[in-house]
């Protein structure tokens, strides 16, 4: 399981078309006056599209590997995850604007135990 | 398999309902009952007909959301399982199957096969919890609980709150549900400080919403977790005992 800038950009170029197809072609039956499970599910799928695209944006912006969050461009000569804590030691909080999501960096500060590369050797 | 379904359709709580007949063709015997309903719903959507509303969540028999009456039996003909664990291989090609929501005044129909089971929540709110401080996780065997007691508490805790017991009961009683929820706390040490208040509060709340138990035993048969009606006897025993207890002397076994 891994990700690369190329794959993420491909996903980001293809998901909007699927999302557009969903928004124009989805068939939601029933009405507003009673419980409507179709509407409930369609709303969730709509959320998943937006969340899915945001996850791609976030993964693309994070140019490092971190354990199972493995970016193919960032690996050691032995193929292990290459951390870049100097540049990416922050939580990415994405602001919903309705248009492009806006990144807010919340720095992670470690006082006593600092992140290191795990080695089983 | 080709199956004919007679499904209860009801637009809302105050609208009249009725049976609708659907022929479901090419049903795999390996499908669960809910998957068969999913397939029917997908076909209904393509035909422009509103899909059948039914509840489900875990689809592995532990959440209690999916209960419906199948041929007049809660969760269908297979004993000790929920609707989601029933497979179409239990039926035969050409069968007609009747599917209805839970039949109980305390569980009003929300829509089609979906009912409102919040009367159960009222019972739990009355005492189905432990609110005394039990501290952090104790070391193993620090609080001795005899094996048969632990096993019995666990059997009671298997209740998933699906409502099959109520739906099966000719009186619409919730005694098996309440008994299970009371027993799994009242049997264990952490449940003792509130034991007597709990049983009185939960039984009294149950009586507000549900009918009375007359020991038909239908609940035990319908229960997807096969919870024994012995728990109802324990419930009655604790309820009567609570009436004689001086709660201020509980710490002295008063």
CATH of the domain at A39: 1.20.58
Residue A34's pLDDT band (cuts 50, 70, 90): confident
Per the domain annotation, does A117 fall within a domain? Answer: no
Mean pLDDT score of chain B, rounded to an integer? 95
ipTM above threshold 0.85: no
Please answer whether residues B205 and B177 qualify as being in contact, where contact means their C-beta atoms are separated by less than 8 angstroms.
Answer: no
Phi/psi region, residue B76 (left: phi>0; alpha: psi -120 to 50; beta: rest), is: left
Residue A33's pLDDT band (cuts 50, 70, 90): confident
pLDDT tens string B150-207: 999 999 999 999 999 999 999 999 999 999 999 999 999 999 999 999 999 999 999 9
Average pLDDT of the segment spanning A39-55: 96
Residues of A in contact with B50 (CB under 8 A): 29-30, 38
Q: What is the CA radius of gyration of chain A?
A: 19
Listed by start position, the domains of chain B span: 3-111, 117-252
CATH number, domain B117-252, options 3.40.50.150, 2.30.40.10, 3.40.190.90, 1.10.1060.10: 1.10.1060.10
Q: CA-nearest residue of chain A to B111?
A: A35
Look up the CATH superfamily of B3-111.
Beta-grasp domain (3.10.20.30)
Q: Which residues are CB-contacts of A87 (< 8 A; sequence separation ≥ 6)? A: A63, A64
CA distance B170 to chain A (A): 29
pLDDT of residue B138: 86
Q: Which residues are CB-contacts of A113 (< 8 A; sequence separation ≥ 6)? A: none
Q: Which residues are CB-contacts of B246 (< 8 A; sequence separation ≥ 6)? A: B254
Beta strands in B25-153 (DSSP E): 69-70, 73-74, 96-100, 109-111, 114-115
| Residue written as token pair 């969540």 | B57
Q: Do B45 and A27 touch (CB under 8 A)?
A: yes
- CB contact, 8 Å: A17 with chain B? no
Q: Do B50 and A38 touch (CB under 8 A)?
A: yes
Residue numbers of the domain that contains A29: 5-107
Residues of A in contact with B40 (CB under 8 A): none
CA distance B120 to chain A (A): 21
Burial of B100 (0-12, 13-18, 19+ CB in 10 A): buried
Beta strands in chain B (DSSP E): 3-9, 18-24, 69-70, 73-74, 96-100, 109-111, 114-115
Pairing of strands B3-9, B114-115: unpaired
Dihedral (CA of B36, B42, B46, B51) sign: positive
What's the number of domains chain A is made of? 1
pLDDT tens string B44-102: 999 999 999 999 999 999 999 999 999 999 999 999 999 999 999 999 999 999 999 99
User: Is the model's pLDDT at B254 over the cut of 60?
Assistant: no
- Among B11, B12, B50, the residue with its CB nearest the CB of A29 is B50
pLDDT of residue B250: 65
Residue B252's pLDDT band (cuts 50, 70, 90): low
């Amino acid at each position: 399981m891994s990700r690369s800038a190329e794959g993420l950009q491909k996903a980001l170029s293809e998901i909007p078309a699927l999302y557009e197809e969903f928004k124009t072609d989805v068939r939601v039956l029933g009405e507003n006056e009673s419980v409507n499970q179709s509407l409930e599910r369609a709303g969730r799928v709509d959320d998943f599209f937006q969340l899915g695209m945001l996850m791609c944006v976030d993964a693309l912006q994070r140019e490092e590997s971190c354990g199972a969050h493995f970016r193919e461009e960032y690996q050691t000569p032995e193929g292990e995850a290459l951390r870049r804590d100097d540049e990416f030691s922050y939580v990415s909080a994405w602001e919903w604007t309705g248009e492009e999501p806006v990144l807010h960096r919340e720095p992670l500060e470690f006082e006593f135990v600092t992140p290191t590369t795990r080695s089983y050797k | 398999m080709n199956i004919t379904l007679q499904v209860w359709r009801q637009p809302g709580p105050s609208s009249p309902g009725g049976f609708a007949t659907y022929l479901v063709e090419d049903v795999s015997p390996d499908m669960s009952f809910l998957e068969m309903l999913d397939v029917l719903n997908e076909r209904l959507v393509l035909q422009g007909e509103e899909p059948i509303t039914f509840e489900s969540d875990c689809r592995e028999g532990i959440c209690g959301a999916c209960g419906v009456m199948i041929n007049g039996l809660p969760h269908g003909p297979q004993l000790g399982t929920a609707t989601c664990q029933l497979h179409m291989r239990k039926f035969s090609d050409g069968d007609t199957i009747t599917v209805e929501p839970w039949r109980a005044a305390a569980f009003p129909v929300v829509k089609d096969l979906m009912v409102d089971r919040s009367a159960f929540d009222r019972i739990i709110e009355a005492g189905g919890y432990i609110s005394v401080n039990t501290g952090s996780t104790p070391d193993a065997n620090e609080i001795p609980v005899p094996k048969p007691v632990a096993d019995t508490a666990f059997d009671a805790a298997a209740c998933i709150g699906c409502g099959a017991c109520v739906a099966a009961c000719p009186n619409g009683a919730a005694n098996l549900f309440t008994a299970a929820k009371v027993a799994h706390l009242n049997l264990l040490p952490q449940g003792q400080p509130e034991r007597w208040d709990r049983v009185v509060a939960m039984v009294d709340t149950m009586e507000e919403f549900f009918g009375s138990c007359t020991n038909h035993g239908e609940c035990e048969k319908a229960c997807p977790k096969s919870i024994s009606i012995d728990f109802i006897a324990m419930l009655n025993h604790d309820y009567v005992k609570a009436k004689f207890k001086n709660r201020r002397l509980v710490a002295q076994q008063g």
